[in-house]
A and B are shown apart, each in its own frame.
Chain A
Amino acid sequence: MSLLMLTSGLLCLGLYGVLTRRDLVAVLASVEVMLGAGTIQLAAFSTALNVTATSASAAATGQGYTLAILVLAAAEAAVGLALLVVLVRLGRTRTDQIEEVRG
């Protein structure tokens, strides 16, 4: 229960940051907090299920999905920070200053 409380708390803390912070850097960092909470949860369940799994391969599936989240978060950070660099050049790093998206 303690781990569930911790990861749920981290997820909600990250969500609070995403919804209240106005600078893109802080929003991106808050998203990383939310993803971190999810990976801790997945890794812990992966370990717990390992006890009852019938093979090592089945037991490591959770770790495989945790790695997938790590990769997704890294890709998200790369694209988000590239957008941030462009917005910094335009002098608009606050979320309320970004009003239009063009292809």
Chain B
Amino acid sequence: MSKKALQFLSSLKLTVVLLALAIAVVFFGTLGQTSDGLYVAQERYFRSWFTYWTPHGSSFPWVPLPGGYLVGSLLLLNLIVAHITRFKWGWDKSGIFMTHAGIILLLVGQLLTDMMARESVMSFREGDSRNYSESSMDFELALLTDAGSNTLDQVVAFPASLVKPGAELAHGLLPYRLRVREAWENAEIRARAPMMDSNRPPAATQGVGARAVIEPRAAMRTMDDRNVPAAVVEILEGANSLGTWAASGGLRPQAFQSGGREWRLEYRPVREYKPFALTLLKTTHEVYPGTDIPRNFQSRVRIQNPDAREDREVDIYMNNPLRYGGYTFFQYQMGREQLNQGGRGTSALQVVQNPSWLAPYLGCVIVGLGLLVQFGIHLGKFLTRRPAPRPVAA
């Protein structure tokens, strides 16, 4: 690598330019959320190498921008190259080195969070137990059958990304294959109504789909909305067709027979099973008197972990998440209508698994300590350099 290139990569000017670009990316990324929604804006502005900003409603790319990955990587590169080529170790600079180490930890920690953190949702009604959480974004086409015992299911789950029109889904454990006839990222399935749908055929030939129609919907991008995918699949045993089935995120499992056993077909949020179970015992929903502003959402849950021989109750409420088994459970949503109607309350917990969750805390502490050390060193030098006061003549 040429000396010039190294000089460029280690220059303070590059740092300043990159910080300015970072501010621009954050600014336009925040603006972009108004039209793209949080998740799309995150992908587009921050989890990208290059991007551009377009005003709402325009298709012309107005402001070309570096993506978050590019700015972050270059900042990291800039800092590391500067350390290798320019900075020289000395105790008097230990504070600067610590500060830079903290910044590197912040940048790397963010990259790790980005790659490794997983968010999902555990939603249940009072009295229900859950040993899994569900993705709030991703769905899977799951095929289930008895695993040989009365309590276990064998599951073969195809991610929604594979459920595309024309695709054939097969697996060694399945005595049949699925041919995807139609698929939608977001659609609603509903009963085939007499007046509205008489000139439309049912969605499928078998199961619920034989009495239902599927209404495609525009894909949702905002945080409050959620896509519910749907598909029509044909089940084939060799050359023999068992008919078509409608699968939708809004449907309960549907049963069919193949290979001498009962199978169930379900299009559901991707599940992540845990080695422990939570039972929702009680939900509490309080608002400030006379308003709808929530004062307290609280879920009392029972943790049962047979491996750890643990069985205890905890309260999860706003700003008081449960950290357990590498997961953090935040109080997320609460079904208020059911509570008002005297039914069983529902609660949704956001489940976050982030192995590098400590990195930003640690990074900030190291940066803070580094600054303190550096200021301390400067203060020490200043004090020792001050000449001793001379006695003043009377």
Judge: A and B partners, yes or no. no
Q: List residues of chain A with CB under 8 Å of any chain B CB.
A: none
Q: List residues of chain B with CB under 8 Å of any chain A CB.
A: none
